[in-house]
Amino acid sequence: MSQNPLLILSDNDNIAVALQKIEPGRQFASLGFVAQSAIASGHKVALTEIASGQEIIKYGGVIGIATKDIIPGEHVHVHNVAMAQFQRSQTYGSKAQDTHFVPASERATFQGYRRADGNVGTRNYVGIVTSVNCSASAAKHLAREAERSGLLDQFPGVDGIVPIVHGAGCCIGTDDEAFRKLQSAIWGYATHPNFASVLMLGLGCEANQIPLMLEAYGRPQDKSFQYYTLQSAGGTRKSVEKGLLWLETALEEAVKAKRETVDASHLSVALQCGGSDGYSGITANPALGHAVDLLVKNGGTAALSETPEIYGAEHLLTDRAASPEVGQQLVDLLEWWEEYAAKHGSEMNNNPTPGNKAGGLTTILEKSLGAVAKAGSTKLNGVYKYGEKITAKGLVFVDGPGYDPVSITGEVASGCNMICFTTGRGSCYGNKPVPSIKIASNSAMYARMQDDMDLNCGAIAEGSETVPEAGQRIFEAILETASGTKTRSEELNVGEAEFAPWQTYAQM
């Protein structure tokens, strides 16, 4: 990209994106217009006359309709654009292309922890996973007491002790899909390869009974996996004392794990964007998409999520579906979301957020077209429920909301052992037990928030780096981080409060 003040993304577009603040009255002689008002960086300016009711086109796709006549040089945003419904193609698989895989002997590699079940971890934590909110405080007390006592210092090969707590687990029905979402999220963390050992801790009388969960998922207790309840142990103090005894054994088991060379087919990367702006779909997201293509070619897996944030751009994924069944599964999810939003008196266009709009995004259609760029260009090989274990390789989709902690919780529960998080407004997200690489879409925000940002893709808009070059950097960072290099959030010790299961049930 050049350093021109305006960027036109497609020959069919009737808007351009401002790459710097545009002052009113600035002339664009080559385009035949004058800026009618101040236009912030990342926002849109009209290239042509756009009549009221006419479609607004960006990325070559529809992002809304004009609510009034717009003249060339005018700012195009929420004051003159509304959500639009339009016909999307449903030609499942019509653009799916075979991937040219790297031979197994030549795949990229990283240093990971190979677990007994064949899965590979990128970190080596011990987890205390709660079945219900009623045991959350005890879990946190146990982790703090272990840290205070210096117990963890005796095991330098262990990354830490993580209490996984939440605000659910009781007064809910146990025979519906909503309960399955909660249970699969909890179980997905309890069996995650980034945990060497896990204690499941309950109260005892909750709806989400641990023995029933073990029975449903078929996991026996052993040295690295134990459970008990506060009621059976005799209360909080005795539960903590019992937990400290368990931790000595658990840490002894965990420290036996050593990093070894494994290939990139053992990586499963959660794709996320949060605090997006007008640059996200131009810089960070397509760069991450290029990294995803490299990962898939090396045998790995990438999981796209945030179902509401592909709304209006789903055809770009269904056209790449590996089969008509996969394409239909994705469309079925979106139809569920339309009903879900309507049932709660909401609408799909309630996303983007105020921060997204301040950054230049006007409608969910615009946000979705940019968000889908994270998925690269390979086939869509599978569609999964929230927290459902991913079994396919390559690009897949995991259902989840646009709220980042909830969505990522589902991806991690589904088995992702790395996270790549693009942002334009800035994010301070971290996750334990999975490292989160945060990728800035613009250089100004990156400079302001360097303590939280891992990579900057702003140079793409500035013309000093290409999308493939940035994508290669991201792919290399994924391998390095998976091998043990700490992310910014890990250096700041962020990530113990981000377990947030999706709650869609009736709380009774």
Whole-angstrom Cα distance, residue 472 to residue 321? 25
pLDDT tens digit sequence for 157-185: 999 999 999 999 999 999 889 999 999 99
Bridge partners of 423, per DSSP, are 440
Q: Which parts of 94-135 fold into alpha helices (H)?
A: none
Q: How is residue 330 written in tokens?
A: 């994705």
- With beta carbons less than 8 A apart as the criterion, state whether 147 and 161 touch: yes
Whole-angstrom Cα distance, residue 314 to residue 59? 14
pLDDT tens digit sequence for 23-38: 999 999 999 999 999 9
Q: What residue type is 116 in one-letter code?
A: A
Strand runs labelled E in 150-222: 160-164, 195-202
pLDDT at 3: 63
Using DSSP's 3-state secondary structure scheme, residue 256 falls into coil
pLDDT tens digit sequence for 65-87: 999 999 999 999 999 999 887 77
pLDDT at 84: 82
pLDDT at 506: 76
The alpha carbons of the chain give a radius of gyration, in whole angstroms, of 24
- With beta carbons less than 8 A apart as the criterion, state whether 438 and 429 touch: yes
Whole-angstrom Cα distance, residue 373 to residue 316? 9
- With beta carbons less than 8 A apart as the criterion, state whether 102 and 471 touch: no
Whole-angstrom Cα distance, residue 59 to residue 278? 12
pLDDT at 2: 44
- In terms of Cβ atoms closer than 10 Å to its own Cβ (0-12, 13-18, 19+), residue 170 is middle
Backbone angles phi and psi of 84, in degrees to 5:
-130, 145
pLDDT in tens, the chain (508 residues): 446 899 999 999 999 999 999 999 999 999 999 999 999 999 999 999 999 999 999 999 999 999 999 999 999 999 999 988 777 767 899 899 999 999 999 999 999 999 999 999 999 999 999 999 999 999 999 999 999 999 999 999 999 999 999 999 999 999 889 999 999 999 999 999 999 999 999 999 999 999 999 988 888 888 889 999 999 999 999 999 999 999 999 999 999 999 999 999 999 999 999 999 999 999 999 999 999 999 999 999 999 999 999 999 999 999 999 999 999 999 999 999 999 999 989 888 776 889 999 999 999 999 999 999 999 999 999 999 999 999 999 999 999 999 999 999 999 999 999 999 999 999 999 999 999 999 999 999 999 999 999 999 999 999 999 999 999 999 999 999 999 999 999 999 999 999 999 998 777 7
Q: Which parts of 399-439 fold into alpha helices (H)?
A: 404-413
3-class secondary structure for 26-72? CEECCCCEECCCCECCCCEEECCCECCCCEEEECCEEEEEECCCECC
Residue 304 host element (H or E): strand 301-304
Whole-angstrom Cα distance, residue 460 to residue 463? 5
Taking the CA atoms of residue 481, residue 487, residue 490 and residue 496 in that order, the dihedral angle to the nearest 10 degrees is: -80
Whole-angstrom Cα distance, residue 467 to residue 122? 27
- Return the CATH number of the domain spanning residue range 6-82: 2.30.130.110
The residues near 116 (Cβ < 8 Å, ≥ 6 apart) are none
- Return the CATH number of the domain spanning residue range 125-256: 3.40.50
Using DSSP's 3-state secondary structure scheme, residue 196 falls into strand
Whole-angstrom Cα distance, residue 410 to residue 408? 5
β-pair type (75-76, 44-46): antiparallel
- With beta carbons less than 8 A apart as the criterion, state whether 467 and 279 touch: no
Query: Residues 5-44, buried b or exposed e (16+ Cβ, 10 A)?
Result: bbbebeeebbbbbbbeebeeebebeeeebebbeebbbbbb
Backbone angles phi and psi of 472, in degrees to 5:
-65, -40
The residues near 56 (Cβ < 8 Å, ≥ 6 apart) are 14, 15, 44, 50, 62, 63, 64, 65, 66, 76, 81, 84, 362
